[in-house]
Structure 1
Amino acid sequence: MADPNNVLQSWDATLVNPCTWFHVTCNNENSVTRVDLGNANLSGQLVAQLGQLPNLQYLELYSNKITGTIPEELGNLTNLVSLDLYLNNLTGGIPTTLGKLTKLRFLYEHFKIFMWLTYLVSL
């Protein structure tokens, strides 16, 4: 991901615990629960590894220059409540794997707002 404003400067992959990184919130067990990178001028594509954050509840990536498709692996984020991809340059549709996210209540994507207040149906 390109980071012209250096907002990811604290993101050191050699650290065992990402809870010390800026724009990352963790719970008491040092598990990532929130990533707030909205309006950070980031560009590039979303990586499938985001789907490996089992306790992630909020993924805020609005108002960037993110391109490509939404990774199917985001369907593994079973605790996700909010996925904000609003105002990016994403292509393709919403992966059907997001239909597994029964806790998801807000999905902001491609200038459209979807609010799921009860259960998700297969997309």
Structure 2
Amino acid sequence: MESKVGNSLCLWLILVAHPLWMTMVLANMEGDALHSLRTNLEDPNKVLQSWNPTLVNPCTWFHVTCNNENSVIRVDLGNALLSGQLVPQLGLLKNLQYLELYSNNISGPIPSELGNLTSLVSLDLYLNSFAGLIPDTLGKLSKLRFLRLNNNSLVGPIPMSLTNISSLQVLDLSNNHLSGEVPNNGSFSLFTPLSFANNLNLCGPVTGRPCPGSPPFSPPPPFVPPPPISTPVFQKAHN
């Protein structure tokens, strides 16, 4: 009888503790991921000094915001004079909505693992020193509304996968070294030449430069002035 009671008590404790245990595991995993980022960055202003890996979760760290489940939803590190490279472990922040790393001197490639951040709404990596290709995996970010990668040293083509992000409202890829044809389907049909400016090897209608081997752009139709609007003549009524 005591054995059955003991087994039931153990089962009850497991069921009760399971959500808490899962939350702690998730928080520790996210804390480890962010601490990996910290160790890979030079931080002359010590803005990451509070990122202490011995804490239960990273929700008390400066520049980190969590939800009610102690899961990271924002990392705000713009204008922090950071340098170094990003780490693939950032892809473990499954609930991250805002990754703000603009106006630093972060270099190296954009990790393809950022495509795992399927809750991401804003990805701001502009005004850094990122190099290499734009990862094709970013096309998996189906909730993304803001993608700003301008003023870096990115090369290669614009991934066609990005045109599948129907939620995309703001796109800035200007001031890089991108090449090839600019897609004009999907969400990309909404964007103006400003989104792609100062990439001298991009081509396509939005850039004003035909791609090699493609026919020249058709000239616009001739302007036809509208017919003049006739003014109705009102006759005076006779008595």
Tell me if TM exceeds 0.5.
Answer: yes
Structure having the larger proportion of residues in helix = 2
- In structure 2, runs of 5+ residues without a counterpart are 1-40, 153-161, 170-185, 189-239
SS, match of residue 35 in structure 1:
strand
2:113 to 42, 51, 73: 73
Deviation at 1:94, TM superposition (A): 1.2
- In structure 1, runs of 5+ residues without a counterpart are none
2:168 to 111, 116, 120: 116
Aligned to 1:54: 94
Q: Which has the higher contact order (CA 8 A, sep 6+)?
A: 1
CA distance in 2, matches of 1:16, 1:44: 26
Aligned to 1:21: 61
Aligned to 2:142: 102
1:2 to 42, 67, 71: 42
Contact 1:99 1:120 in 2 (8 A): no
SS, match of residue 132 in structure 2:
coil
Structure having the larger proportion of residues in strand = 1
1:93 is aligned with what amino acid?
A: L
Question: Among the aligned pairs, what percent are the same residue?
Answer: 72
Over aligned residue pairs, what C-alpha RMSD do you find?
A: 2.0
Deviation at 1:120, TM superposition (A): 6.7
With normalisation by structure 1, the TM-score equals 0.90
2:70 is aligned with what amino acid?
A: N
CA distance in 1, matches of 2:77, 2:122: 13
Moved more, 56-65 or 9-18: 9-18
Closer, same or farther: CA 120–73 of 1 in aligned 2, 3 Å: farther
1:99 is aligned with what amino acid?
A: G
Q: How many residues align?
A: 119
Contact 1:90 1:110 in 2 (8 A): no
Contact 1:101 1:120 in 2 (8 A): no
CA distance in 1, matches of 2:187, 2:140: 7
